[in-house]
Amino acid sequence: MDVLPLPAGERPLGGRSDPDFAFASRGRVLKAYGVDERLDVALDDRSFADGRWEEALDRAFRRRKAQGVENPILVGAVPFDGRQHARLFIPEHCDYEDAGRMAADPDPVALNAIEETVGRNAFEAAVAQAIDLFRDTALKKVVLSRPLDVEAREAFAPGRLLRALLRQNPGAHVFAAPVAYGQTLVGASPELLIRKTGRTVVSNPLAGSAPRSPSAEVERQRTAALLASTKDRTEHRYVVDAVRAALAGHCIPLSVPDAPSVIRTPTMLHLSTELTGELVDPAVSSLRLAHALHPTPAICGTPTGLARDAIDRLEGYARNWYGGMVGWMDSRGNGEWALSIRCGLVQGRHLRLYAGAGVVADSDPAAEWEETAAKLTTMLNLFGVASTRPSNTDLPVELAS
């Protein structure tokens, strides 16, 4: 990732102690230790409109510089609902590590239970209700998600999950971010919301998905079908159009490919479009740009207000950190923020996983359930468990990839 050199005054910490925050991108892991100052705030429109949030951040950066740090950074997580407080802080120390050296094989984990918090019937009924809304309202797309609860015999170690995710998902934005006392958000997101390096910005929205196959021929067929799918192309276009509209006022020029390509994660195929632009005002920060984009139709829907209302009515649980964003920003506004998807919330022996699917008028409820099951595989691969495996009394067992 295009990170700046280690800021003056920061020193790598020795040993194998786990960082308090970690974010991997393009072969390197940013590791942050300790908390110099917290800046937890609701990053809604009001926070940016009156300038007070950015002024507070600038003061915090200046205090850190006065301590001898040339270019301090801010790290953390932002929830799906911008009205809820983000979990952001300036670390005491930071360093970078090669992702390959930090990666490790999963440790065997004894699981007690895997529970569907929202069952298949309830999820498919919600998708059917969303399809009805497309006929009766101006809603065009809504992303509906569901959680899956995993319980282990002993407490999960977020650092171990992080290292295993790095091994299994070498091209992803792998992260571990503290979000509350005793709670850590861990994941391997394939989706870059925004990256800012100087005047250059990049956003890589994904929408439209299909599961990978071990058969090269089947994978070729699925890739061709995904590129030809009216349903998936429509879902993808909504996202690209929204990102284009949000960045157009900031970037001249803004380059948008005419058609999507397909990217591959270890578990999924995704329609992908990478937008690149040059900022008119280089002082605009990556976090301000991320706020302008969030939530995109890739994680919420369109129009945004109607999609949020539908999510509140139909999902049946609180997303909190799922569907938000995780990342970092330095004192010059450079930074990188990824959507918090393919993730789970760790608290002691409990791990809540999440997966969502974009619903449009042509959606099939059963197919959307299967899509969420395929996406859950990214995290369930840590334990060698199929996403379709029901809760049963045979657990606990020793499970590993």
Q: Report which DSSP code applies to 367.
A: H
A 10 A CB-CB count for 320 gives 19
Q: Which residue has the higher pLDDT, 10 or 56?
A: 56
- Over 70: is that where the pLDDT of 390 sits? no
Q: Angle at CA 377, nearest 5°, toward 371 and 379?
A: 130
Task: Output the CA–CA distances (angstroms, integers) from residue 379 to 20, 211, 264, 267, 292, in the order listed.
Answer: 20, 14, 16, 10, 29
Q: CA nearest 363: which of 235, 267, 268?
A: 235
At 6-53, the pLDDT tens digits run 333 333 333 347 899 999 998 999 999 999 999 988 888 788 877 888
Residue 364's Cβ-count burial label (10 Å; 0-12, 13-18, 19+) is middle
Token pair belonging to 108: 């065997």
Average pLDDT over residues 340-361: 96
A 10 A CB-CB count for 398 gives 11
- For the chain, the farthest-separated pair of C-alpha atoms sits apart, in whole angstroms, at 60
Question: Which range has the worst mean pLDDT, 30-34, 108-112, 372-376?
Answer: 108-112
At 118-153, the pLDDT tens digits run 999 999 999 999 999 999 999 999 999 999 999 999
At 244-253, the pLDDT tens digits run 999 999 999 9
Average pLDDT over residues 103-132: 93
pTM of the predicted model, to two decimals?
A: 0.91
Bridge partners for 344 per DSSP:
186, 353
Q: Report which DSSP code applies to 41.
A: -
Give 19-69 as a DSSP string.
Answer: PSEEEEETTEEEEEES-SEE---B-SHHHHHSSHHHHHHHHHHHHHHHTT-
What's the first-to-final CA gap in the chain, in angstroms?
Answer: 28
Task: Output the CA–CA distances (angstroms, integers) from residue 209 to 95, 190, 372, in the order listed.
Answer: 35, 12, 10
Do 40 and 88 form a contact (C-beta atoms < 8 A)? yes
- Over 70: is that where the pLDDT of 386 sits? no
Bridge partners for 232 per DSSP:
none
Which residues are the active-site residues? 141, 191
